[in-house]
Amino acid sequence: MEHIRMPKVENVRLVDRSLSRRTQVGTLYLTATHTIFVGKGSEDRNELWVLHSLVCNVVKHKASQSGYPLLIYCKNFQVIQFIIPQESDCHDVYISLSRLSRPEKYEELYCFSFNPNADKAERELSWDFLDLKAEYSRMGLPNKLWHVTPINREYRVCDTYPSDLFVPKSVTLPVIVGSSKFRSRGRFPTLSYYCKENHATICRSSQPLSGFSARCLEDEQMLQAIMKSNPGSRFMYVVDTRPKLNAMANRAAGKGYENEDNYCNIKFQFIGIENIHVMRNSQQNLIEVSALRSPSMREFLLGLENSDWLRHIKSIMEAGIFISKAVAEEGVSVLVHCSDGWDRTAQVCSVASVLLDPYYRTLKGLMVLIEKDWVSFGHKFSHRCGHLDGEAKEVSPVMDQFLECVWQLMDQFPCSFEYNEKFLISIHNHIYSCHYGNFICNSQKERKDLCIKEKTHSIWPHLWENKMDFMNPLFKPDQGLLRPSTAPFCFKYWRSLYNRFDRELHPRQSELDCLMAVKEETQQLEEELALYEQKLAVLDKERAKTLYMQKGVLDSKQTLWSFPLDASLVNTPQDYIGGLIGAAPNVFSSQQGERESLFGDKPKCPDADNSDQESGVADFSSHSSGEESLPSEDSVKDPDSDETGLNRA
C-alpha cells in the first residue's frame, strides 16, 4: 500500500494499440494488486484489470499533444498504453507501478492475498487434486525393480529435488549419496518416466563433476543399476542436452560430462540446446517482431528468422524425439542431463513424455506432467519467471518453450490432444500471474518452508472446472507414440500466444468453438433420445399390459408393433401416457426453443460481440472478451478481491 503514490488519476486515455486513433477516456486506479482502468460511459465492460505481478516493464514515452504516454508491457504479451494528462501524475503512476510490479518478498505476491471465499478444507482439497504417487503407480511403480528411496525425505541430500524419488531397488543408500556428491547441486540420477510395456525409463540428473579426469565409483554403479533395471537392454543412452562446446567448457570448472570409457555400456550423446541466456535474448527478439505494427512480410519473416526462436524450439523437439524413440522403439533407457538438470532437462524429459504417452495429451495428464517434471523436480519458476525483483539474468522462457513444443505438436497432430491451445495459453498466463501458489518458489523445499499449501490455492482444480473451454473437439483418444516431422516448415509462429491481445490479427470465426458447440448439442440430443427411449419402453410395457387386458376384444394376430398407437391408448387410464402423447409435439418444440436460447445465451454469443464492436467501446471489449474466452485469466476480476482493491483505492 505504501508504494502507491497516486491511487487514482482522472481523464486518462487508454489507446487501442491496433487502431491507434481510437482511445477511451476514463479513470485509472492503482490498488495493492491491480491496475484498473474504468472507462467513462459506465458500462460494465469498460474495465481493464491488470495484475501487478503480470507487469514486466513500465515505460514512459515522450510527451505528445494529448499528454504523457505510459506503456505497460505484460508477461503475457499484452501491451497497454495510457496517456495521462499531467506529467506529475504520469511520473507518480510510473514510480508506483515500477515498484508494485517488482515485489521484493514472496509475501507480497498476489496468491497470498487472493482468497476466493474458500474455507480451509476446500483449499486443502484443491492441493489434493493432483497426486504424484498416483501418477507413479499409473506408470506401474513401485515394482520389483524400482522403489521410492527415503533418502531425500528431509531434503538433505538434494535441496532442489522432491522428497520422494524413485531409484533402482538394487542401489544402496551409500551409492546414492556417493553419486549425489559427484553431481552438480547433488542432483543424482533418478527416475522421471517409466514405460510399463518394455521397462525402459527416462532418468534425469545434473552434470557429473568429472572435470578432466575425475571418476566416481558410486555414480558409475548408479548408472549401471539403472541400465540393469531395464532387463531387456544391453546399454543405455546418456543424453547431454547442451552443445558440446558448452559441456567441454564446464570441464575447466570441474564439471563436465560422462566419459564413455568409465561407464559400462553407455552411449553418450550431445544434443545442442542453447542455454537460458541465449533463449532469453531469442524470445526478446521474437517479442519485438510480434509487436511490430503492420510490418511488411519481409520484415516479419526476416525478424522471425533472426530471432532464432523456432530453431531453438526445433532443437528441443528433436531431443524429445530422440529420447521417445530410444524408449519406445529401441526399448533402451535414457539418462538426461544438462548443467543443473532443471531447465533443458525438464524440457526434454517432458516433451519426450508427451510424445510417448497419450495420457500426457489429456487435460489431467498435462497437469500431472507439469506438476511432476517441472514443479516437483525443482524448475526454478520464481527465478525464471522473475516473480520477485532480482537477478535479470536468471529470467528465461524455459517453460514457455515447453508449452510451445506442445503447441507445435498440436498443430501437427490436430486429433491427438484432448486439450486445445487455450489450455496452454491459460497455463502460460498463470505461471506468470502468481495468482495461485503452484508456480511460486524454486523448489519443493522452498514451497514447504513458505507454507504455500496452507496460504495459497492450487490452479489445477480451477482449470479443471473450466475444462469445457479447453477441450479439443477433434480429439481421438489412444494413439501411441507420436512421430512428428521436424521439417522446418512444421515449426510455426505461435500467433495466438504472442499476439494474444491483438484481436484484429486472429481469425474472426472459430472452427473450434463451432465444433465444440455442435458436439455439445449432439450430446444433448443423444441424452434426449435416451430419455425418450426410456419413456417409450415404459410406454410399451403399459401398452402390452393394455393389450393383455383387451386381448379378448382385439384381433390376436395383430402384433404389438403394428398396433395403431392411439387406438391402444384411447382407453388407457394412466395419465402420463395420454399426457405424453398429447404433449409430444409441444415437448419437442419447447425443447428446440430451449436449445436455441441456450446457444443464444452463451457468453461468447456472436451478437454480443458484434454489438460490442459497433458500439464505441470496442477498445475495451477487445480486452475483456479476450479474457472472457479464457475464463481463468487473472485480469478478469474476482468479485472479492476486486472490491477490496477498489475500496482501498
- Tell me the closest approach of the beta carbon of residue 256 to other proteins, in angstroms: 28
Residue 62 Cβ, how far from other proteins at the closest point, in Å?
22
Q: Which of 338, 349, 385, 434 is catalytic?
A: 338
Task: Please give the helix or strand (H or E) that residue 11 lies within, else none.
Answer: strand 8-15
Q: Which of 217, 415, 537, 560: binder of other proteins (CB under 8 A)?
A: 415
DSSP class of 71:
E
Beta-carbon neighbour count of residue 572 at 10 Å?
18
Is 312:401 a contact under the CB 8 Å cutoff? yes
Q: Is 338 annotated as a binding residue?
A: yes
C-beta of 552: minimal distance to other proteins in Å? Answer: 40
Angstrom distance (rounded) from CA 474 to CA 471: 9
Task: Sketch the per residue contact string, 509 through 528, with other proteins: x for CB under 8 A, - otherwise.
Answer: xxx-xxxxxxx-xx--xx--
Alpha carbon distance 46, 308 (integer Å): 39
Residue 586 binds other proteins, judged by CB under 8 A: no
Q: Does 476 bind other proteins (CB under 8 A)?
A: yes
434 has catalytic annotation? no
Nearer to other proteins, 558 or 591 (CB): 591
Instruction: Please check if 340 is assigned to a binding site.
Output: yes
- Grid coordinates given for 571: 382407453
C-alpha cell of residue 331: 526399448
CB 78, min distance to other proteins, A: 15
- Name the residue with cell 503447441: 407
Pick 485 or 550: Cβ nearer other proteins: 485
Binding mask 51-80 for other proteins (x = CB under 8 A): ------------------------------
For residues 378-407, which are near other proteins according to CB under 8 A?
none
- Residues 534-573 touching other proteins, rule: CB under 8 A, are none
Rounded to whole angstroms, the Cα distance separating 299 from 315 reads 24
Residue 90 CA to residue 433 CA, distance in Å, equals 25
Span from 63-71, 328-336, 423-431, 483-491 in contact with other proteins (CB under 8 A): 483-491
C-alpha torsion angle, residues 112, 55, 307, 249 (rounded to 10): -50
In 481-495, which positions are buried (b, 16+ CB within 10 angstroms) versus exposed (e)? ebebeeeeeebebbe
Q: By CB under 8 A, name the one of 261, 392, 478, 488 that touches other proteins.
A: 488
* Contact code string over 5-24 relative to other proteins, x by CB under 8 A: --------------x-x---
Within 271-330, which residues bind other proteins (CB under 8 A)?
A: 290, 294-302, 304-305, 308, 310-311, 314
Q: Does residue number 448 form part of the binding site for other proteins (CB under 8 A)?
A: no
> Which CB contacts under 8 angstroms, 24+ apart, belong to 612-620?
612/45, 616/41, 617/24, 617/39, 617/41, 617/43, 617/45, 617/46, 618/16, 618/22, 619/14, 619/16, 619/22, 619/23, 619/24, 619/39, 620/14, 620/24, 620/39, 620/45, 620/46, 620/47, 620/48
Q: Is 506 in the site for other proteins (CB under 8 A)?
A: yes
Q: Which is nearer to other proteins, 265 or 523 (CB)?
A: 523
CB of 37 closer than 8 Å to CB of 645: no
Pick from 246, 395, 405, 412: which is nearest to 316 by CA?
Answer: 405
Quote the CA–CA distance of 391 and 394 in Å, as a whole number: 6
Establish if 27 lies at the interface with other proteins (CB under 8 A).
no
| Interaction site with other proteins (CB under 8 A) | 19, 21, 290, 294-302, 304-305, 308, 310-311, 314, 412-415, 473-474, 476, 485, 487-493, 495, 499, 502, 504-511, 513-519, 521-522, 525-526, 529, 592, 595, 599, 604, 606-607, 609-610, 612-614
Mark the binding-site residues for substrate, compressed into ranges: 275-276, 338-344
Residues labelled catalytic: 338
